[in-house]
Chains A and B, each alone.
Chain A
Amino acid sequence: MSAFSAIGEEREIDRNEYTPDIEPQPTWCPGCGDFGVLKALKGALPDVGRSPEETLLVTGIGCSGKLNSYLDSYGFHTIHGRSLPVARAAKLANPGVEVIAAGGDGDGYGIGGNHFMHTARENHDMTYVVFNNEIFGLTKGQTSPTSPKGHKSKTQPHGSAKSPIRPLSLSLTSGASFVARTAAVNPNQAQRILKEAMEHDGFAHIDFLTQCPTWNKDAKQYVPYTDINESDDYDFDPTNRADAQELMRETEDKLYEGEVLTGVYYRDDERPSYQQEKQNIGEMPDEPLAERYFDDDYEWERSYDSFIDKHK
């Protein structure tokens, strides 16, 4: 019998199971977009059939990192920008666990940018939600990697001289096999995309537009958006890489002026996940590695048996 009976258990899951019953109310500001992510996650997880005990939510630091406190699953609130490497190893160690990583735009695209690029490149089977509010919130309103050019803040009093990062293009170029953008102001779309992302076997990156009513009142997260998967104006095929790239370029050029396009931009269901690739070359066990430590009958090999001959 598995030591992890929560994994793969078939039962009806209620979204309220994810609500911690003894916790205080979230410390997010009234009107914060982060509530939207929490709500969408609580809706999507039962849809995917994942219980709180087979789910590991790994977060970085910032307002987004507090998601862990309000979603009652297994959780790991790590350090600034480092949610992805922790999440990657967790998934490799026990692939049966649903691994979701989350962080803000500073956390994910700034300090954790290197990990983002490499996790996408390797195509780990996990969902990565980046709360994009174009600002550093918890440290009280500094310019972030996604703030528009010219954005003024206490640390950039003359306005930012930098163009914002292009999260969708960066993700696609790095190798993510699922790239989407959604917004907290559309909970239904957000829940749908989260569900698709979790069901996707590979690295699913969601740039999640979350409004910051306290520090970034002008951000585009409030404007109406168009769903590229549903709008008649866009006859869009998310499996076409070239089209995805083109549309990403356009929307990232125009994000700060007018219409915001959301939806699933790209998905590649053919590309094997990293775990699969590693199994193919014989570098990843078929059974979850974590199981072995709970299996009293497992025969552990000694180095002596395997390697001593070459030293004789």
Chain B
Amino acid sequence: MSDDELIWRIAGGSGDGIASTSQNFAKALMRAGLHVFTHRHYPSRIRGGHTYVEVRASADPVESRGDGYNFLLALGDSFARNPQDEAYYGNEEVKPLSENLDELREGGVIVYDSGLLDASEIPDFEERVEENDWHVYDMDLRSLAREQGREVMRNTAGVGVTCAITGIPLEAIEELMRDAMPEKILEPNLEIMQTAYDLVSEEYDVDAPDVSVPTGEHDEEQVLMSGSDAIAYGAIDEGCRFIAGYPMTPWTEVFTIMSQNLPELGGISEQVEDEIAAAALAIGASHMGVKAMSGSSGGGFALMGEPLGLAEMTETPLVLIEAMRAGPSTGMPTKPEQADLEHVLYTSQGDSQRVVLAPGTVAEAYEASRRAFQLAYEYQIPSMLIYDQKLSGELTNVPASHFDREPNADIGLTLSEEELADQPHTGDGKFHRFQHEAEDGVSPRSVPGQKGGRFLATGNEHNPAGHISEDPDNRVAQMDRREQKLDAIRADLDDDGLLVEHGPEDADYGILTFGSQQGTVEEAVDRLNENGTSVKSLTVAELAPYPVETVRAFLDSVEEALVVEMNASGQFRGLTQKELGTHGEMLSSLLKYNGNPFEPGEIVEGFTTNVVEDGEVPGNETKFVPAAGD
């Protein structure tokens, strides 16, 4: 095992505590001064089924899952033992071991729970171990846990074994367990961990593999966050105190975090009957002068197209979150994909305009969430934040100071009663909510309950006072004003630094990507440059309005560019070509849509074979689509 990084994969069944154990482990490594990044893989089942989490730890910053892994802790699936399940799910008994071997690196470590898993059931197991120089520890963690406490505590035994092999001090884990566990279960857990730890030292030769974990140090205090955490906290800091939603994976994570935190901040959370209602509630609250949000994932968001248009026509600020997962329809509920891009960009009838932001990292998710609210309220327009199941669930360390920002409760151009009495906003003695000529397209608003500000908000075309109107001149004036907002927003976003360029400025080639693939692409870019290919990347975090000038400048500076995205049809490449109207002949696509995010190595390989060498498709995991001009 290399000194550079530890990629620890814990595998088992859903419901076996894989997620919580890995979260604690990641936090312990972070506290020990390392940079961490987790990758979660789970089925759409409550209990049982193959699930794993990887924790990657390195002394240097890590922003991606990495290629494969070097330490497998296979705990077994305690829910896979019912033979009646087999017809439906297949025999999953050895899956936590067998399903994971393909990606285990040469020289890696396998620890498996021989109480639940029988390695002899896996064809060629011994041969593969020999071939790959794997170091195997078969341990009856189940019995060990059962003897000293409860069977479910075999996770803790597994962590004890991991520490013994890798040299991570047990104290780091103990401290976290003390924080997280009630006294009653803390003691047996600590005992189990210690016993497992000692057992390895006594019975196995731990010197055989090179098992030390990297050491590191942080300049400042770090926190462990998921993209969902960061989005929720961004919303809270930006003054959002109303959320309405309906559960749907993976949007549920943001909804849950908000619901758990809003009441103690004096806010309101509503779980409602469907997504149409959810978006409509957010509109209702926002209409009253409250910062409000809603959101969903693909299928649920489909229902929001109608209220989305209403928010635009009535110029009610609205923030919607779309957590993408694999489609079409219900698709693969727990698997990431970036295929809802066009859905989010174009849903709703008419010439409808909105802002769409797509953060690339956990830290950026916080900024993008704040920015989505700022734009929605400043410009009285629907603003959407899209991300995917990958960014939603992955945990990584971020400097704590990143979140230490000033709260912002500014709801945009909303008049006070004194200003409303001041007359410039009225015509014919009545408040003109939707003036034809307004700066940046934004006409000041009032909210119900205010004296002198009453008006009608309607989804029909309307005149300055808000009344339904089909007058052609009025129609053009209102339509032009609403469209005008987009130019102002585009100019605003230009200064934001939402686009992230990576790699040497004068590189020969480029990679264009968006959203959660940012970290992976950047890691690939670094490796390509180390290997002598001159390449840089641009991650676009604002998709509407599209940053045409910046992307054009980037593409003009390179010979050829590869567009990397997680969908089958190259939606982001299509958007780029549509917006730029040029460069099609130099853009080719590397696509992946099998439910797993890219690994950096796949991008390196895809780039090298397809762009540099004009060769064949790299493998069956990814798809290459040549440039439009080819």
CB within 8 Å of B: which residues of A?
3-7, 21-23, 52-56, 58, 66, 68-69, 72-79, 82, 84-90, 92-94, 96-97, 114-115, 117-118, 278, 282-285, 289-290, 292-294, 298, 300-304, 306-308, 311-312
A-contacting residues, B267-296, CB 8 Å: 267-270, 272-274, 276-278, 280-285, 287-292
Are A290 and B460 interface neighbours, CB within 8 A? Answer: no
Q: Give every chain A residue within 8 A of B416 (Cβ-Cβ).
A: 3, 294
Q: Is the CB of B449 within 8 A of A283?
A: no
Chain A residue at minimum C-beta to C-beta distance from B397: A311
Residues of A contacting B455 in the complex (Cβ-Cβ under 8 angstroms) = 74-75
Q: Is the pair B285, A92 in contact by a Cβ cutoff of 8 Å?
A: yes
Of the A-B pairs whose beta carbons lie under 8 Å apart in the complex, a sample of 28, sorted by A's number, is A6-B450, A53-B451, A54-B449, A55-B448, A56-B448, A69-B467, A75-B457, A76-B458, A79-B459, A85-B244, A86-B284, A89-B281, A90-B288, A94-B447, A94-B448, A118-B277, A283-B268, A289-B266, A289-B290, A300-B407, A301-B265, A302-B406, A306-B264, A308-B400, A311-B224, A311-B229, A312-B222, A312-B223
B221 and A312: CB pair below 8 A? yes
Residue of A at shortest CB range from B451?
A: A6
**Are the C-beta atoms of B261 and A306 separated by less than 8 Å?**
yes
Tell whether, in the assembled complex, residue B405 and residue A304 are in contact, meaning their CB atoms are under 8 Å apart. yes
Cα distance A78–B261 when bound, in Å? 30
- Write the B443-478 contact mask toward A (1 if CB under 8 angstroms, else 0): 000011111111111111000011110000000000
Contact of B284 among A22, A68, A85, A294 (CB under 8 A): A85
Interface assignment of B301: CB less than 8 Å from any CB of chain A: no
Known: A289-B290, A292-B266. A22 touches B450 (CB 8 A): no
Q: Which residues of B contact A89 (CB under 8 A)?
A: 242, 244, 270, 280-285, 288, 292
**A292 contacts B242, C-beta separation under 8 Å:** no
Quick check: A292 and B241 within 8 Å, CB to CB? yes
Q: A5-B451, A300-B239, A308-B223 are in contact. List 5 more A-B contacts (CB 8 A).
A: A78-B280, A79-B280, A82-B276, A290-B290, A303-B236
Q: Are A303 and B409 in contact (CB under 8 A)?
A: no
Query: Please, how many angstroms separate the alpha-carbon atoms of A92 and B290 in the complex?
Result: 10
- Roughly how many angstroms separate A58 CA and B465 CA in the complex, as a whole number? 17
Residues of B near A118 (CB, < 8 A) are 272-273, 277
Given contacts A79-B310, A88-B281, A290-B288, contact A300 B221 (CB under 8 A): no
| CA gap between A306 and B233 in the complex, in Å | 10
- A303 / chain B contacts, CB cutoff of 8 Å: 232-234, 236-237, 261, 403
**Contacting residue for B285 out of A5, A93, A311, CB 8 A:** A93
* Chain A minimum-CB-distance residue to B310: A79
Q: A90 with B407: in contact, given A53-B454, A82-B276 (CB under 8 Å)?
A: no
**Chain A contacts for B458, CB-based, 8 A:** 68, 75-77
Indicate if the CB atoms of B449 and A92 lie closer than 8 Å. Answer: no
* Residues of A close to B266: CB separation below 8 A: 285, 289, 292
Measured between beta carbons, the chain A residues less than 8 angstroms from B306 are: 79, 82
Contacts of A294 in B (CB 8 A): 289, 416
A88 touches B284 (CB 8 A): yes
CA distance A275 to B273 in the complex (A): 17
Say how far A274's CB is from chain B's closest CB, in angstroms: 10
Give Cα A22–Cα B429 distance, bound, in whole angstroms: 10
Residues of B within 8 A of A115 (CB): 273, 277
Report the minimal beta-carbon distance from B8 to chain A, rounded to whole angstroms.
Answer: 20
Q: How far is the CA of A311 from the CA of B263 in the complex (A)?
A: 20
CA distance A72 to B429 in the complex (A): 13
Interface residue? B162 (CB, 8 A): no
- Kindly list chain B residues whose C-beta atoms are within 8 Å of the C-beta of A306: 261, 264-265
Contact of A293 among B223, B269, B290 (CB under 8 A): B290
Return the contact of A282 from the options B263, B274, B280, B403 (Cβ within 8 A).
B263
**Distance in Å from the Cβ of B508 to the closest Cβ of chain A?**
41
The minimal Cβ–Cβ distance linking B12 to chain A, given in whole angstroms, is 25
B449: chain A residues at CB < 8 Å are: 3-4, 6-7, 53-54, 74, 94, 96-97, 290
The smallest beta-carbon distance between A203 and chain B, in angstroms, is 15
Q: Determine the chain B residues whose CB is within 8 A of the CB of A307 once the complex forms.
A: 233, 261
Assess the A293–B459 pair: CB atoms within 8 A. no
Q: How far is the CB of B504 from chain A (nearest CB, A)?
A: 35
Known pairs A56-B448, A79-B459, A88-B284; A293 contacts B273 (CB<8 A): no
Tell yes or no: B524 within 8 A of A by CB: no
Whether the pair B223, A311 counts as a contact (CB closer than 8 A) is: yes
Using CB atoms, name the residue of chain A closest to B257: A307
A87 with B409, Cβ < 8 A, contacts A22-B428, A53-B451, A79-B459 known: no
Q: Is the CB of B277 within 8 A of A283?
A: no
Q: Which residues of B contact A293 (CB under 8 A)?
A: 239, 289-291, 409, 411, 414
Within 8 Å CB of B447, what residues of A?
Answer: 4, 94, 290
Contact call B459/A77, Cβ cutoff below 8 A: yes
Max count, chain B CB within 10 A of own CB: residue among A7, A90, A114:
A90
Q: Which residue of A lies closest to B447 (CB)?
A: A290
Inter-chain contacts of B414 with A (CB < 8 A): 293
B289 touches A312 (CB 8 A): no
Chain B residues within 8 Å of A96, by CB: 449
B3 proximal to A (CB < 8 A)? no
Let me know if A289 and B233 touch, CB within 8 A. Answer: no
Q: Is there contact, CB below 8 Å, between B233 and A73? A: no
Q: Which of A23, A88, A97 contacts B448 (CB 8 A)?
A: A97
How long is the Cα–Cα vector from A283 to B306 in the complex, in angstroms? 29
When distances are taken between beta carbons in the complex, the residues of chain B under 8 Å from A22 are 428, 430, 465
A73, A86, A301: most-surrounded residue (chain B CB, <10 A): A86
B225 interface residue per 8 A CB criterion: yes
Taking the closest CB of chain A, its distance from the CB of B357, in whole angstroms, is: 19
Point out the residues of chain A lying under 8 angstroms from B277, CB to CB.
82, 84-85, 114-115, 118
Q: How far is it, in angstroms, between the C-alpha of A306 and the C-alpha of B407 when the chains are bound?
A: 12
Q: In whole Å, how far is B418's beta carbon from the nearest beta carbon of chain A? A: 10
Chain A residues lying within 8 Å of B274, measured Cβ to Cβ, are 114
Do the beta carbons of B263 and A78 come within 8 Å of each other? Answer: no
Interface residue B404 (Cβ < 8 Å from any Cβ of A)? yes
Do A78 and B450 touch (CB < 8 A)? no
Of chain A, the residue at the smallest CB distance from B400 is: A308
